[in-house]
Amino acid sequence: MSSWIRGLNSTAERTVDETLSLNANTNPNPNLNPSLFERVDFVLDTSYDISRPSTTFWQDAWRRLKKNKMAMVGLFILTLISLIAIFGPYLVKHTYSDQNLTLANASPSAEYWLGTDNLGRDLLIRIIYGARISLSIGVVASLINLLIGVIYGGISGYCGGRVDSIMMRIVDVMYCIPMLLWVIMLMVVLGPGLINIFIAIGLTDWLRMARIVRGQILSLKEQEYVMAAQLTGANTWRILSLHLIPNSMGPIIITATLAIPGAIFTEAFLSFIGLGVSAPMASWGVLASEGVANLRSYPFQLFFPAAAISITMLCFNFLGDGLRDALDPRMRK
């Protein structure tokens, strides 16, 4: 191979020399002669070297996500909150159920960094445990929403025709009733409890995901690789799982990320009106509900859980916006 390349180089050099000498003999303009030109070395071995290594779609998306400062700040804060929720209880000497009525409604101090509630319980450890419950509700409900929405929207978009029309009319009917009202009705039927919140939010928040997946499948199912898979005898499930859904993962990930803060806020609202988790467990919504009763006398009891909810929702929104920009193929360079 190397000898063949050297032969090509020598042939190219001889051709250049012959061309220059021919021009010198035939050109009537005496000012144009080979001495006015400078030879440019041409090495075939390195002429086709790649200037920079190629990157995959996900590597390029991660590179662009890192350039989004607000998205990275949101990711860092969410990671920090998750680590505190996991390891925080092992670093605090109090438990979320310890009561000391002599220290009820105590202001923040060295002993109780965020103060105590009306029963003398440490507010810091209760907010940490509340982070566990609120984040788990957001993630689990988003996963249920992802599973139902992707399957429903994928089948609707791929089948098309009458099947698509019937399935989308069902979605339109459910859209007529606000999602929060669906959740409240399910919680009234199922009763308060952590598992019931998972079920209620997961079974009602998949409509937007289904519509987005359906739109992606409709635009992708006419591509050549889908037709090739059909010609090879691939069934519907194989085409959806191996070809269509993987190529729609960008919008799916963005929608799932933005659904997490919505689920956290829904749980906080349910706990605020008394349909959330049961005592002695405490989510951020429960803590906010308890803090409202003492708002004028002890505003810190409402401020800290409300700040935790607000910061978490802002961080998820920043991260979702960053993912939307990073996973947009039109912005890829």
pLDDT tens digits for range 258-272: 888 888 888 888 877
Q: Which of 142, 100, 118, 101 lies closest to 266 in space, CA to CA?
A: 142
Same domain? For 94 and 192 the reply is yes
Question: What pLDDT sits at residue 79?
Answer: 92
Q: Given this model, what pLDDT does residue 236 score?
A: 79
Co-location of 207 and 72 in the same domain: yes
In this prediction the pTM is: 0.72
One domain, residues 182 and 67: yes
Which token pair is 264? 């956290």
Cβ atoms of 127 and 287 within 8 Å: the answer is yes
- 87 with 23, same domain: the answer is no
Residue 52 lies in a domain: no
| Contact of 101 with 79, CB cutoff 8 Å | no
Structure confidence at residue 37 (pLDDT): 65
Instruction: For the chain, list residues with pLDDT below 50.
Output: 1-2, 4-9, 16, 20, 22-25, 27
Residue 31, domain extent: 2-47
Are 28 and 68 found together in one domain?
no
Res 8: pLDDT: 43
Instruction: Say if residue 106 is in the same domain as residue 223.
Output: yes
Q: Is the residue at 289 inside a domain?
A: yes
Predicted confidence at residue 34, as pLDDT, reads 65
pLDDT at residue 5, as a whole number: 44
Residues 6+ apart with CB under 8 A from 50: none
